[in-house]
A and B are shown apart, each in its own frame.
Chain A
């Protein structure tokens, strides 16, 4: 079974994003970029399934600018076998619906048994691509996964839901999206980083797949959230208790 892992290049999670003064978006110039953390978890899960013998090949795919090659090389260094970059011009943001359409076309070529996405990209915070891809492919979805096991022609997924956990059984091929506790992604070793440089990486364009990436949502403006100003520090528990009583919560 082949596993397809979509990975997105995003602002590093340790960087505090800054809104551009002209309200056109978030300033990404000279900002550290990394693989979306949920996608690292997805790559790790694919590798573990391969190590267990449940998968034979892992293909990482990214829709993004030329620099997204770095993200794909990271996936290859972790253990993916091949990569596909669906390249768009620098600065072009491709919305989840268009990403899902491109992934559908890639899936048509690759015929994966499993697609493992992250549950959300930490830049757009959309939480859509996996579900949309499942819809377009007419296949089942196991979102927010904290455990995944392949059992014959099905995959059993434990999902993190509002009240706790739930488990579903999905017919393969299926789409899974990862939650934080699914696994802890490995670091790529130096020899693997070197090896990754010679692994195959194909470059394509959305047009190759016949997908129109024109946005459906017009961004009218991007602004800072209301800032909270720091309040007061109280010297001791008695003062804190008095404050809480003033507010009527105690």
Chain B
């Protein structure tokens, strides 16, 4: 099977989520990495070094600068004449683009693939991860999005695939990019952090969240996440949200502080290796999944913990 993998990048380097998608695609067959961007030589060179990538297609055009689905989907659909499967990481870009490609190919997409059980058979989560479905595609081609935490990351170096240029398909003239507010953080990204400290509604306000969660995260070299309640209340921006409809994470250690453990939150973090929960309610559902629980008032516990670490 010949697979085409969507490379998530910032024109200069390749984002981590791509590496898991390469591993998944490699289980299906030969991997070609698609780097679509504007001035994306750096990213194409980086993609060529990923272990397991047999070839890189570079589509360098102003129309692809911001990965607008209206512009990149026709490119992918044109390329798919030569491939059997399109594989994208289940990131916000991947989720935006892949279904548009699938519909144009008249294919039913398999979303958030967790494992590859056969050439056309996959497992995927449904009902906030409370039911795992095994599905077999009957379509001529495959379109998949891949959950990053479910596949090992391919090595970012060691490969030396040839880079070829792909013909651009131009600007569809339907949409334009106005701007972005992308938070710059020195902290590890949630997708790749080994340790994550997340705060919930109990943190009271943005200042308290700052004063308690961030220093603890700093001590642990951790990424920072949050429950939806904390995000809705404005303690932290939306991209901190962990859960069914936020980010899916699976670090070595996940520390949940003042988070009750609603199924929608658990859906995003219950594959973490070790879960630590701090909550004053000993019956909070989070303790049903926590490996280590500490019952008590976070306003006393967190400062003491930060100090003693």
Contacts and interface: CB of A to CB of B under 8 A. Distances in A.
Contact of B175 (A11, A126, A169, A234): A169
Contacts of A11: 127
A67 B212 CA distance: 48
Contact of B136 (A95, A125, A218): A218
Interface in A206-250: 215-225, 228, 230-234, 236-238, 240-241, 243-244, 247, 249-250
Interface string B188-220: 000000110000000000000000000000011
A241 B134 contact: no
Interface string A92-119: 0001110010000000000000000001
A35 to B, nearest CB: 16
A120 B248 CA distance: 15
Contact of B132 (A159, A225, A228): A225
B286 to A, nearest CB: 10
A237 B135 contact: no
Nearest to B243: A180
A75 interface: no
Given A132-B100, A232-B293, A165 B181 contact: yes
Query: What's the interface size class on A, roughly?
Result: 35 or more
A170 B175 contact: yes
B96 A143 contact: yes
Interface residues of B, number: 89
A232 B97 CA distance: 43
Interface in A164-180: 164-171, 179-180
Given A232-B292, A250-B220, A167 B134 contact: no
Given A19-B131, A100-B103, A165 B238 contact: yes
Contacts of A218: 135-138
Contacts of B239: 160-164
Contacts of A161: 92-93, 180, 182, 239
Contact of A220 (B135, B232, B253): B135
Contact of B100 (A141, A170, A215, A238): A141
Given A17-B131, A169-B178, A220-B121, A230 B183 contact: no
B60 interface: no
Given A127-B95, A219-B133, A220-B136, A95 B174 contact: no
A219 B308 contact: no
B287 interface: yes
Interface of B: 66, 68-70, 73, 91-93, 95-104, 106-112, 121, 125-139, 172-183, 194-195, 219-220, 228, 231-232, 237-239, 244-245, 247, 252-253, 263-264, 270, 274-276, 282, 287-295, 301, 304-305, 308-309
Closest 7 pairs (CB-CB, A-B):
A231-B291, A131-B99, A216-B108, A132-B103, A135-B103, A140-B174, A128-B99
Interface of A: 11, 13, 16-19, 25-26, 38, 95-97, 100, 119-120, 122-136, 139-141, 143-144, 146, 156, 159-171, 179-181, 215-225, 228, 230-234, 236-238, 240-241, 243-244, 247, 249-250
Given A164-B238, A234-B293, 5 more contacts: A127-B99, A134-B69, A140-B174, A161-B182, A162-B91
